[in-house]
Amino acid sequence: MTTATVDPPAIAGGKPTKSTPYAKLPRYGEEELAELREAIAQQTLFYASGKKVHELEKQFATLRGAKHAVACSSGTAAIHAATMAVGISPDDEVIVPPITDMGTILPVMWQGAIPIFADLDPKTYNLDPASVEKAITPKTKAIIAVHLAGNPCDLTALKKIADDHKLFLIEDCAQAHGCHYDEKPVGIVGQIGCYSFNEFKHIACGDGGIVITSDDALAKKLRLATDKGYDRSPGVANRNAPFLANNYRMTELQGAVALAQLRKLDSIISRRQSWCSRLTKRISGLSGLQLPITQEHGTHSYWFYMMRVDKSTLGADADEFSKAIKAEGVPVAAHYIGNPIYKYPLFQNHSAFERGEHPYRRIDYTKTSCPTAEAILQTCAILAVNESYSDADLDDTVKAFERVVAWFQSKR
């Protein structure tokens, strides 16, 4: 096809495909207000004396098939509590992915431990088990597996590696509410699963997090880790902190909102799954784009829709493609977090603290190289997803993709 016969996209002067905004349903409403009113009526907003946080924990644990859940103030706090509970200590090594949020990595650093970055699978963008295995040393204590974008990791392989080497497996499920592996919710294959309720996640309470485990001893430590080491179990008032903990408590206000949100989760996930799988079906014939790939045992819960752009087939790189799609009115952005985390100044310059040592200085991160992760960031484009999106939004999105791909291909 020549450019002359192709409908010019918005970037070449055509009319943008999307003439109406994407549907947006209110996120919070009467259900949250009703829970908040009840929380206020309790005349306490403290988790230990109120009912909302405890109820959230009970419901979340049941929903995710875990024996215990401990709510906390953020997803980062959840991961920090997990690292405290499993006893991560200074100079330990913890294997982590280089494409994630800093909330995965900071807790490792605050324990005085050393993040060791393993490479990723080029199709799922999650930890590559072979690279994880290569990164293990006698100092390795844990693996933190992030289910990126709501796409599950290869948990069978990662659990086997963790068990073979006697390591803890912590699942970072911050982006993966409603995501399943082997028909089970993520977060229960590892010893501990950590979720976030920050404003941008599938369900939210402004900020908040929750940790799940089926290990009684870990559950006890998780509670202490989030409450300054104070034991507030019924009939106990013990302030004798047994280890270095923090105040990561969730308030009754957050608990109330999260409870109302939890009731909406199934519908949020199924709407996202339906919309995204229909999108994949309709654009899968377009060449030059690697659409989301979920491994055999997984179900994706689409926190976002992550693609890779193959310049040699499409005739455009991730920047050019994203710019053109965005001009059509479709929310796509290239490169996700931009750089793999080990390229951040914090690692390149060992600048964790202004003065003083941190064990991670032992690693020269200027020599860290995860080529697949770097290639993924170079070539990826992310479509923002929301459960509110309508069928008309889907039609427009498909049209925009078709139009832009046809345009680039006509110019080759």
Ligand X SMILES: Cc1ncc(COP(=O)(O)O)c(C=O)c1O
Span 179-238, contacts to ligand X by CB under 6 A:
196, 198, 209
Q: Which residue has the tokens 């909102």?
A: 257
* Contacting range for ligand X; rule: CB under 6 A; set: 41-49, 70-78, 242-250, 321-329: 70-78
Phi-psi region of 344 (alpha: psi -120 to 50; beta: other; left: phi over 0): beta
Residue among 10, 68, 74, 327 that touches ligand X (CB under 6 A) = 74
Residue among 57, 128, 172, 252 that touches ligand X (CB under 6 A) = 172
Q: By C-beta, is 76 or 301 nearer to ligand X?
A: 76
DSSP 35: H
* Contacting range for ligand X; rule: CB under 6 A; set: 100-108, 179-187, 239-247, 328-336: 100-108
Q: By C-beta, is 151 or 295 nearer to ligand X?
A: 151
Q: How far apart are CA 356 and CA 139, in angstroms?
A: 22
Give least dist CB 362 to ligand X, A: 25
Q: Is 104 in the site for ligand X (CB under 6 A)?
A: yes
Q: Is 101 in the site for ligand X (CB under 6 A)?
A: yes
Count of chain residues binding ligand X (CB under 6 A): 14
Side-chain half-sphere CA neighbours of 30 within 13 A: 0
Which one of the listed residues 159, 201, 326, 343 is annotated catalytic?
A: 201
Q: Is 103 in the site for ligand X (CB under 6 A)?
A: yes
What does the block give as tokens for 151? Answer: 């796409």
- For residues 37 and 30, the answer to whether their CB atoms sit within 8 Å is no
Q: How far apart are CA 153 and CA 145, in angstroms?
A: 7
Which strand ranges, in their side-by-side order, compose the sheet holding 168-172?
68-72, 209-213, 192-196, 168-172, 140-146, 93-96, 114-117
Q: By C-beta, is 174 or 404 nearer to ligand X?
A: 174
* Annotation says 201 is catalytic: yes
**Chain Cα centroid distance, residue 39:** 29
Q: By C-beta, is 76 or 251 nearer to ligand X?
A: 76
**DSSP SS3 for 385:** coil
Q: Which residues are catalytic?
A: 201
Q: Residues in the site for ligand X, rule: CB under 6 A? A: 74-76, 100-101, 103-104, 146, 172, 174-175, 196, 198, 209
